[in-house]
């Protein structure tokens, strides 16, 4: 989780304290910590935070870094070229994302009260002609956003900020709200294999000091429940016929393919966030026949663990050849060449879940 503005930064500092002080005392927190790698970055833009001299509810000159760049418009974009100078903070995050297998994340902002999910940018193939832009995992993203918003009493009302849009149940698709280029949540999902949503946590960007405890009380349950969602779906390792873990192997759900295929890490591990249901996993190595395997995600997930499914791939070749034959996705507008009739744009797949910082999890 990461946050830049006052409320997000304060919440994440409180979250760190809450997790540390309750470890070994609260069974739920203890189990969560024992089963989850939790990375918390209270501030991605420290220069911007320190630059605020005259707090204002609706505008802050701390949005930009010391070089006058908005870091949440500074990442590579999958829909159009983002020809801006990549900033040191952005490069540091991009390099950090390569060092860990992050699965779930959230970034915390202020100025509205809503949980926003990808995509933030779009093309006709992702549904922009319908004033939205949907990922292949739209059902999961709607669930994640609703999981957070439904536990925040003010956010779920959807109409608590004056002179702002109303958000049914406190959630929105990012593109439906307003399109933006170079955002972090799209980058994380496409190139880092990490599901990220944006949490707008306060109508006022810079609230008075005495108001800050209220925001912790309002968001504590949502933050903890959101972290738990990293254990949705299925995880496991892919092995060759000798029992060696296979890195860089594509593991995707059939009919739910990502524009940049999700692959196993250096330990042969894969993680797929999925809602309960029946799925077919397609395990692919270039030059070999795909290996298909079915999984059923139960309605009640195991305590702090996704369904574990190891896969034996009948591969008889050198591991080094996989890395060469399966290069990483280029950081270019990958969606710009897709046809406009993608299944993601069909209204029948647009699900509404009624009952239903930066944190990075694995």
| Euclidean distance between CA atoms 230 and 74, whole angstroms | 26
Per the annotation, the verdict on 200 as an active-site residue is yes
| Euclidean distance between CA atoms 130 and 147, whole angstroms | 25
| Euclidean distance between CA atoms 87 and 94, whole angstroms | 11
Ramachandran assignment for 233, one of left (phi > 0), alpha (psi -120 to 50 degrees), beta (any other): left
- Helix or strand holding residue 325 (H, E): helix 319-325
Contact 192, 99 (CB under 8 A): no
Tokens of 121: 């940018």
Nearest residue to 173 via CA among 112, 130, 124, 120: 120
Contact 264, 238 (CB under 8 A): yes
Nearest residue to 177 via CA among 163, 189, 165, 187: 165
The active-site residue, picked from 5, 10, 200, 252, is 200
Nearest residue to 233 via CA among 118, 143, 355: 143
Alpha helix stretches (DSSP H) within the chain: 6-22, 27-35, 46-51, 88-99, 138-149, 153-157, 174-177, 184-191, 212-228, 319-325
| Euclidean distance between CA atoms 209 and 10, whole angstroms | 10
Nearest residue to 120 via CA among 72, 170, 60: 72
| Euclidean distance between CA atoms 160 and 218, whole angstroms | 14
Nearest residue to 207 via CA among 55, 53, 15: 55
Tokens of 162: 């004056």
| Euclidean distance between CA atoms 342 and 20, whole angstroms | 45
Nearest residue to 133 via CA among 174, 72, 169, 185: 174
Nearest residue to 152 via CA among 223, 210, 230: 223
Residues serving a catalytic function are 200
């Amino acid at each position: 989780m990461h946050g830049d503005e006052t409320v997000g930064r304060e919440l994440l500092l409180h979250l760190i304290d809450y997790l540390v002080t309750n470890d070994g005392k609260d069974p739920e927190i203890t189990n969560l910590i024992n089963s989850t790698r939790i990375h918390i970055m209270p501030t991605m833009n420290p220069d911007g935070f320190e630059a605020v001299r005259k707090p204002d509810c609706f505008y802050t000159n701390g949005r930009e870094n010391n070089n006058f760049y908005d870091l949440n418009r500074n990442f590579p974009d999958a829909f159009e070229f983002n020809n801006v100078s990549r900033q040191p903070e952005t490069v540091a995050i991009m390099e950090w994302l390569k060092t860990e297998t992050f699965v779930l994340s959230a970034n915390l902002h202020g100025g509205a009260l809503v949980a926003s999910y990808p995509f933030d940018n779009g093309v006709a193939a992702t549904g922009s002609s319908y004033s939205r832009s949907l990922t292949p995992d739209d059902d999961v993203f709607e669930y994640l956003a609703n999981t957070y918003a439904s536990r925040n009493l003010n956010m779920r009302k959807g109409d608590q900020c004056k002179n702002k849009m109303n958000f049914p149940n406190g959630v929105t698709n990012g593109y439906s709200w307003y399109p933006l280029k170079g955002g972090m949540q799209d980058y994380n999902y496409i190139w880092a294999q990490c599901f990220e949503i944006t949490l707008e946590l306060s109508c006022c960007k810079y609230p008075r000091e005495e108001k800050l405890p209220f925001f912790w009380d309002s968001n504590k349950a949502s933050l903890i429940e959101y972290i738990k969602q990293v254990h949705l779906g299925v995880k496991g390792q892919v092995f060759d016929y000798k029992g060696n873990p296979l890195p860089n192997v594509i593991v995707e759900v059939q009919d739910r393919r990502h524009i940049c295929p999700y692959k196993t890490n250096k330990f042969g591990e894969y993680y797929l966030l999925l809602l309960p249901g029946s799925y077919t996993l397609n395990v692919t190595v270039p030059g070999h026949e795909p290996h298909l395997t079915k999984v059923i995600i139960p309605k009640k997930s195991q305590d702090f663990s996704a369904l574990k499914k190891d896969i034996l791939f009948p591969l008889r070749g050198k591991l080094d050849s996989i890395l060469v034959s399966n290069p990483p996705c280029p950081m270019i507008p990958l969606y710009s060449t897709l046809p406009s009739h993608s299944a993601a744009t069909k209204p029948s797949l647009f699900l509404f879940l009624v009952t239903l910082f930066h944190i990075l999890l694995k």
